[in-house]
Amino acid sequence: MEVKKWTYEEYPEYKNEEFPVIQTTGDERGVVYLKDVEYANVDGYPLHLQILIPYSRNGKEGPFPCFVYVQGSAWKKQHIHHGVPLLARMAEKGYVCAIVEYRHSGIASFPAPVIDALNAVRFMKKHAAEYNADSERVILAGSSSGGHTAVYGGFRHNDDTEENLFPGISGEVSGIINYYGSTSFMFDYSNPSTPNHCMPDSPEGLEAGGINLNENEEMRRAMSAECNIDESTVIAPMLIFHGTKDRTVHPECNERLYTQMKKTGHDVTMYLIGGADHGGSEFWTPEVIDTADAFMKKCFEK
């Protein structure tokens, strides 16, 4: 056999009838993982993305829609790499996934995570060709505190302000997916396992700047999504997933958000995930991913 630089098409396929052959098509998807891609540096604090890119042997697909995902952490410093294996399931579905690191409550307060998430969206749009992504088909998603961030990213239109680190590039997205977001602090059991709910040392109190939200109604309402949506609010279509046994964020948080969006004429759908607690693989099953995929495809048609 000649030794040379073979093309895939030219190279002769090995055959041996002694061995059974498991056939492939070349369309089977894998995922490339790019670790710790810096998308911004805010006051000397670098912020990173974990980027997952679908690929196949044939390489015929793409550009892929982009799924920008804000991983929750109770607004504290994120364990940003923990979600990579689960997000790979979404990438295999045909999405470039970017997991967002935000400024945590130890160094910045609300709305810093929202500002960061929108700049992550802009970064992915700017570098879309590099990552085989489609800058016109972008979804902003998030879980827990990241769900709160994604929801607020849906109606914080700050392209023409100094918050935009990528002038000329829009942070607008086609849709929002809210995975069990901590979206309301307007009732006492909104966080059933947080005895210091709304106190200065609670997750939400720290995110508000270390204040007592029970004594600051203005900030409490500012951080509760349902209090900031009316008929005039411009917000992308939203899909909500919430576990029926969530001990950290009560499902009523998102029921209130859903009800307010419906009441004010906005596009919103909500699913309960039976038996699911606060996160876990239940939210990344084929059925849930297929549901999210159908929602996103519908968003891209608009």
In a domain, 103, yes or no: yes
- Of residues 232 and 59, which shows the higher confidence score? 232
Task: Please give the torsion angle defined by the CA atoms of residues 79, 43, 163 and 108, in that order, rounded to the nearest 10 degrees.
Answer: 50
* pLDDT, tens digit (0-9, with 9 covering 90-100), for 94-117: 999 999 999 999 999 999 999 999
Indicate the SS3 state at residue 79: coil
Inform me whether the pLDDT recorded for 60 exceeds 90: no
In a domain, 143, yes or no: yes
- Mean pLDDT of the region 203-210: 97
In a domain, 125, yes or no: yes
Q: What is the pTM of this model?
A: 0.96
Question: Which residue, among 175, 35, 238, 39, has the nearest Cα to 119 in the 3D structure?
Answer: 39
Inform me whether the pLDDT recorded for 166 exceeds 90: yes
Q: For residue 51, what are its two tokens?
A: 């980027």
Residue 224 sits in a domain whose CATH number is 3.40.50.1820
Strand ranges inside the chain, DSSP E: 30-42, 45-55, 64-70, 96-100, 133-143, 175-179, 238-243, 268-273
Strand ranges inside 84-166, DSSP E: 96-100, 133-143
Q: How many domains does the chain have?
A: 1
* pLDDT, tens digit (0-9, with 9 covering 90-100), for 219-235: 999 999 999 999 999 99
- Mean pLDDT of the region 118-144: 98
250 lies in which domain range?
Answer: 34-300
Using CA atoms, how far apart are residues 15 and 35, in angstroms rounded to an integer? 39
In a domain, 28, yes or no: no
pLDDT at 162: 96
In a domain, 235, yes or no: yes
In a domain, 9, yes or no: no
In a domain, 14, yes or no: no
Inform me whether the pLDDT recorded for 1 exceeds 90: no
In a domain, 17, yes or no: no
Mean pLDDT estimate for the chain: 97
pLDDT at 122: 98
